[in-house]
Amino acid sequence: MKLATWNVNSLTVRLPHVLDWLQAHPVDVLALQELKLTDDKFPHAALAAAGYQAQCFGQKTYNGVALISREPATAVVRNIPGFEDEMARVIAADVGGLRVVGAYFPNGQEPGSDKFAYKMRWLEALRVWLRAELARQPQLVLMGDFNITFDDLDVWDPVGLKDTIHCTAEERAQLQGLIGLGLVDTLRLFEQPPRSYTWWDYRNFGFRRNQGLRIDHILVGESLRPRVSHCAIDRAPRALERPSDHTPVVLTLTD
């Protein structure tokens, strides 16, 4: 079974990229973030023609998440239960015997800001909810754009970016809090090329110079660790014309 996550930074713009990628990489589940469209604009027909059904949770202009899968998705939840949020950031469903959670974590803007405080509250609520989800269904996959780096290996300039957004001690502590629930960072289970990133700024030739961050992650419950056979970043879509600033991360589980 293959699962992937990809912040497409506007599905309207990037739909051809997504369809081409799915044809070349027929994953079983694809979590998308930053759809930037409302549910009535979601391209169900185009994805159905490609052999996929979708659960979406859109929002005009910003945010929006979706789970695209070959098998039907059931027990769908949108956003974090019990946490009031006007932003469309989370979609979860049962797919293929797994509990799959796709999430677009808040950016946070800058430490000390109101948006950073919201990010901390959101992360705390996510952890509380996921603890209950893991107790109910240990075969859980959490994937998406986390907007947080694990450590300096995930940062092209760890000195210059120290204590800036995505790289603060507070954010990384929250990320370790998720690991503490019994989740595993699947990419780190395998040797990766040096300077492996998932996001590059559009400015200053960020991708060409490989000045990026690893902020897109796939975490799995500890009980799934024995099934994890491969995890890698697919850099190719970032080199396309009019690309998203993120690129997919792909996880392979043995059956």
> Percent of the chain scored above 90 by pLDDT?
98
Q: Residue 68: what pLDDT?
A: 98
- What are the strands, taking DSSP E only, across 131-196? 140-145, 183-185
Among 226, 224, 119, 132, CA closest to 175: 119
Span 32-81, pLDDT tens digits: 999 999 999 999 999 999 999 999 999 998 999 999 999 999 999 999 99
Q: What does the alpha-carbon distance between residue 109 and residue 105 come to, in Å, rounded to a whole number? A: 12
13, burial (CB in 10 Å: exposed 0-12, middle 13-18, buried 19+): middle
Query: Residue range 94-113: average pLDDT?
Result: 97
CB atoms within 10 A of CB 133: 20
CB atoms within 10 A of CB 247: 24
Q: How confident is the model at residue 129 (pLDDT cuts 50, 70, 90)?
A: very high
Q: What does the alpha-carbon distance between residue 106 and residue 87 come to, in Å, rounded to a whole number? A: 9
Span 166-213, pLDDT tens digits: 999 999 999 999 999 999 999 999 999 999 999 999 999 999 999 999
Q: Residue 224: what pLDDT?
A: 98
Q: What does the alpha-carbon distance between residue 52 and residue 71 come to, in Å, rounded to a whole number? A: 8
Query: Residue range 1-12: average pLDDT?
Result: 98
Query: Residue range 145-170: average pLDDT?
Result: 98
Is the domain 2-253 a CATH 3.60.10.10 member? yes
Query: Residue range 82-106: average pLDDT?
Result: 97
Give me the chain's average pLDDT, please. 97
Q: Which residues are catalytic?
A: 104, 145
Q: What does the alpha-carbon distance between residue 64 and residue 43 come to, in Å, rounded to a whole number? A: 13
Q: What does the alpha-carbon distance between residue 237 and residue 130 come to, in Å, rounded to a whole number? A: 31
Q: The tokens of 111 are what?
A: 């430490």
Span 222-253, pLDDT tens digits: 999 999 999 999 999 999 999 999 999 999 99
